[in-house]
């Protein structure tokens, strides 16, 4: 594969590249940061990257909302609505995970007095 071909492919599939980069950034944050809240921010970035990946995979340039009505003919291009429906559910799940994690962090702080993962390891 030549360099120009590679650039062409990256350009066409740039949504995948962006999603993958975000995923790696999130994973890196999750693993490397000692602060639990920052760790969880990393997890949220990972979640967002996958949501972006799924939503962008259903999109078509110039696609319309899939509703039948005036101005819709056999040649009209529709956007795939299923990924969007999936991601609505996914966002609800991500939100409840975040809420639970934050409330756990409050409890953790009350019990151990710190949110630093390195110090928590020493507590045991």
Partner 1 sequence: MAEFAHHCPVLMVITFLAGAVLTPIVSKSKKKFSFWWAFFVSLLALLFSSCAVWSLYTKGPISYWLGGWEPPYGIEIYFDYISSITFLMTVLGALIILYSKKYIEHDIKEEKLPVYYTLVLLLLCGMVGFSITGDMFNLYVFLEILSLSGYALIAITEEKLTAMASFKYLVMGAVSSMCVLAGVALLYNVTGTLNMSDMALRLQQFEPIATSYMALCLFVVGFCVKAAMFPVHVWLPDAHALAPSPVSALLSGLVIKVGIVGLLRVIYGIYRLGGAIDFTTVTNFMGWLAAITVLVGAFFAFFQDDIKMIFAYSSISNIGYIIMGISLISFTQPERGYLGMVGGLIHIFNHAIIKSTLFLCAGAIIYKTGFRKLSDLRGIGKKMPITCGALTIAALSIAGIPPTAGFICKWFIVLGAIEFGRGIWAAALLIGAIFVFAYYIKIVNAIFFREPAEPILEVDEAPLSMLIPIVILAISCLVFGVFAYLPLAVIKPAAATILGLPPTYIPPGG
The contact mask relative to partner 1 for 2-31 (x = CB under 8 A, - = no) is: ---------------------x---x--x-
Q: Which is nearer to partner 1, 18 or 120 (CB)?
A: 120
Integer Cα distance of 79 and 9 in angstroms: 22
CB of 8 to partner 1, least distance (A): 19
Q: Report the site for partner 1 in 48-107 (rule: CB under 8 A).
A: 50, 53-54, 57, 82-83, 86, 89-90, 93, 96-97, 100-101, 104-105, 107
Integer Cα distance of 28 and 118 in angstroms: 17
Alpha-carbon separation of residue 34 from 37, 42, 121 (angstroms): 9, 12, 11
Query: Which residue from 112, 113, 116, 119 is in contact with partner 1, where contact means CB under 8 A?
Result: 112
Alpha-carbon separation of residue 88 from 39, 91, 95, 108, 111 (angstroms): 24, 5, 11, 30, 35
Q: Do the Cβ atoms of 30 and 108 come closer than 8 Å?
A: no
Residues that bind partner 1 (CB under 8 A): 23, 27, 30, 36, 39-40, 43, 46-47, 50, 53-54, 57, 82-83, 86, 89-90, 93, 96-97, 100-101, 104-105, 107-108, 111-112, 120, 123-124
């Amino acid at each position: 594969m030549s360099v120009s071909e590679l650039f062409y492919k990256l350009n066409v599939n740039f949504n995948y590249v962006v999603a993958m980069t975000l995923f790696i950034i999130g994973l890196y944050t999750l693993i490397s940061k000692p602060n639990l809240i920052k760790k969880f921010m990393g997890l949220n970035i990972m979640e967002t990257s996958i949501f972006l990946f799924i939503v962008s995979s259903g999109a078509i340039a110039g696609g319309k909302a899939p509703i039948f009505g005036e101005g819709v003919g056999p040649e009209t291009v529709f956007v795939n609505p299923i990924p969007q429906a999936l991601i609505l559910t996914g966002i609800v799940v991500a939100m409840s995970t975040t809420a639970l994690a934050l409330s756990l962090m409050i409890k953790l702080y009350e019990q151990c007095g710190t949110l630093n993962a390195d110090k928590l390891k020493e507590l045991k």
